[in-house]
Amino acid sequence: MSKVAASKGPSDQRWFDIVVYAIAAILMVVVLYPLLFVVTASFSDPARVLNGEVWLLPKGFTLEAYANILHNNKIWTGYGNSIVYMVVGTLINIVMTLLAAYPLSRPDLPGRKGLMMIVTLTMFFSGGLIPNYLLVKELGMVDTMWALIIPGAISTYNLIVMRTYFQNSIPWELQEAAHIDGCSNWRLLISIILPLSKPILAVMVLFYAVAHWNSFFNALIYIRSEDKYPLQLVLREILLISQSATEEGGNVGLEKQILLSESIKYAVIIVSSLPVLIMYPFVQRHFVKGVMIGSVKG
């Protein structure tokens, strides 16, 4: 930023700044408006939302939608499931990624190139949806939480980010010295590498956790019983069902039902995105750091 500030001088074009700031302001409005609209609509009288009266401020303020959600068991089951999948999944992700990234970061690992090949090649070619599905089915994981966790246990991109961090941020001399002192590789990993890797571990936990929380497709193909649905799948049902109900519209008996799903819709979006959005201001910095590390050597 300093270079831009330094270039301030008489030859500067004032209009250029004005244009830059104007575009930036428009962008912020465009990005924020849909989010604000959902928040506003969730606090408004659903009938007035349906009439298109709401556009910025709540009309007919009500907390009914949130009260309805409180009594909706499906949503809470989904919430619980998602939390379990996220916690267990992220734990396995971290352990597996660490176990792969650390040895692969060691310059003295015989056969490192070949092993790296096995890993990176998978970024460019995959068997595709059907063979993966048949494999998971064959392993008997369909309709269990493991189908959502084991097949995605390692993200190759995250592995490479972590490996790059180990290579660039932890001095090799330190590890060699520990070796000479008779430290085993496991102890080295646990008592030297891990404490030095807190920033990257934080980034990885966040990347994986958000991915678990937001994913729906694996659950769509692998989870059959409704009581195992993660939140995103419940959400999809609520959003799609209310959509088809509106399409059929007109029917007087349906009207109340439409209103109910319509009112719940906005609040459900808020409630489901809340964990990530609350976390966001605190961790945003770490996310950015993760992207930067990854970009050092993709």
Partner 1 sequence: MKNADVHETAAAPRSKPERGGRLVRQIAKRYDLYLMLLLPIAWYLLFHYGPLYGLQIAFKNYNPGKGILGSDWVGFDNFRRFFDSYYFWRLLWNTLSINLFSLLLAFPVPIMLALLINEIRSKTYSKLLQNITYIPHFISVVVIVGILSVMLSTNGPINMLIQGLGGTPTRFMESAGWFKTIFIGSNVWQNMGWQSIIYIAALSGINPQLYEAAKMDGASRLRRIWHVSLPGIVPVIVILLILDIGQFMNIGFEKILLMQNNLNLEASDVISTFVYTTGILKGEYSYTAAIGLFNSVINLTLLLLVNRFARKTSETSLW
Residues 65-104 that bind partner 1 (CB under 8 A): 96-97, 99-100, 102-104
Check if the beta carbon of residue 178 is closer than 8 Å to that of residue 192. Answer: yes
CB of 71 to partner 1, least distance (A): 21
Select 195 or 281, whichever has its Cβ closest to partner 1.
281
CA separation (Å) from 78 to 91, 167, 240, 251?
Answer: 20, 40, 16, 31
| Residue 266 in contact with partner 1, rule: CB under 8 A | yes
Select 87 or 117, whichever has its Cβ closest to partner 1.
117
Residues from 189 through 228 that contact partner 1 (CB under 8 A): 189, 210, 213-217, 221
The tokens describing 268, both together, are 């459900």
Distance, CA of 74 to CA of 57 (rounded, Å): 30
> How many CA atoms within 13 Å lie on the side-chain side of 49?
26
CB of 87 to partner 1, least distance (A): 17
Q: How remote is the C-alpha of 81 from its chain's centroid?
A: 16
Select 8 or 198, whichever has its Cβ closest to partner 1.
8
Check if the beta carbon of residue 89 is closer than 8 Å to that of residue 146. Answer: no
| Residue 254 in contact with partner 1, rule: CB under 8 A | no
CB of 63 to partner 1, least distance (A): 19
CB of 105 to partner 1, least distance (A): 10
| Residue 167 in contact with partner 1, rule: CB under 8 A | no
Distance, CA of 1 to CA of 29 (rounded, Å): 24
Secondary structure letter of residue 225 according to DSSP: S
| 3-state SS record for 236-256 | HHHHHHHHHHHHHCCCHHHHH
- Give the number of other Cβ atoms within 10 Å of residue 230's Cβ: 28
| Residue 18 in contact with partner 1, rule: CB under 8 A | no
Residues from 169 through 188 that contact partner 1 (CB under 8 A): 184-186
Residues from 125 through 144 that contact partner 1 (CB under 8 A): 125-135
| Residue 229 in contact with partner 1, rule: CB under 8 A | no
Residues from 145 through 164 that contact partner 1 (CB under 8 A): 150-151, 153-154
- Give the number of other Cβ atoms within 10 Å of residue 172's Cβ: 13
Taking CB under 8 A as the criterion, the residue among 63, 123, 177, 190 binding partner 1 is 123
Select 22 or 70, whichever has its Cβ closest to partner 1.
22
Taking CB under 8 A as the criterion, the residue among 83, 116, 119, 170 binding partner 1 is 119
Residue for token pair 């068997």? 127
CB of 291 to partner 1, least distance (A): 5
CB of 183 to partner 1, least distance (A): 11
Kindly report each contact of residues 277-285 with a partner whose C-beta sits within 8 Å and lies 24 or more positions away, as own/partner. Answer: 279/206, 283/202, 283/206
